Amino acid sequence: MTSSAPQNRRPLASRQSAWAGKLATRAVQRGFTPNQISQASIGFAGLGFVFYALSPFGPGLIQWLMLIFAAATIQARLICNLIDGMVAVEGGQGSKDGPFWNEIPDRASDLLLLLGAGIAAGHPALGALAAAFAIATAYIRELGRAEGFPADFSGPMAKPHRMAALTVGTVIAAFYAVEWTLTLTLWIIVAGTAVTILRRAFRLIEALKAR
């Protein structure tokens, strides 16, 4: 995991919830390491990619199921992202290679899920663009950290917001106009993530100038 300093952890209200605490405790009791939980998040994202990619080939009930399953994998990925940090920090299970497994699975998961949604929408290039923008927001955040500043998790389309938008859009698409709904969802993510990139970039530039 990344540094346990509060300024380097994404502020999440769900971290204080009872259900998250119980999941983290069970993970520790069963011997799951933070790195294994982070790796599981890629597995869920990979399943999401498969479900998205298969959805155009099964109209009707099959397509509905594929999209609902894809939405479920997004939430499973986010739960892994939440629990791995709790096991590492609150559970005292952090490791020296934790920072690698904290970041790389997130980037891979963004790529798999957003590209998958683009394939389901019939616009893989749009999904790839959304994924590239998502990765860029993380790059700017980590660049700031490398320069000694606290991690910048500002939005309006940080990871939790992107995944919330994708989940809602996917569920709606399961019931109404799959291609149109997913295309609109991806454009919303692209636009919001572009604003996030600019905002983080300007904040970092100003911080560097003021140092």
Distance CA 40, CA 27 (A): 12
Torsion of CA 63, 69, 75, 79, to 10 degrees: -160
Q: Is the dihedral of CA 131, 14, 75, 101 positive or negative?
A: positive
Range with the lowest mean pLDDT among 23-32, 64-73, 104-113, 170-179?
23-32
Q: What's the token pair of residue 102? A: 């904290």
CATH number for 6-210: choose from 2.60.40.1180, 1.20.120.1760, 3.40.50.300, 3.40.1010.20: 1.20.120.1760
- pLDDT at residue 9 above 70? no
DSSP secondary structure code for residue 14 in this structure = G
DSSP secondary structure code for residue 59 in this structure = T
Between these two residues, 111 and 18, which has the higher pLDDT value? 111
pLDDT tens digit sequence for 135-150 = 999 999 999 999 999 9
Range with the lowest mean pLDDT among 20-34, 48-62, 82-96, 135-149?
82-96
Give the helix ranges, DSSP H, for 147-177: 159-175
| Boundaries of every domain in the chain | 6-210
**Which pLDDT value is given to residue 163?**
97
Between these two residues, 49 and 17, which has the higher pLDDT value? 49
- pLDDT at residue 177 above 70? yes
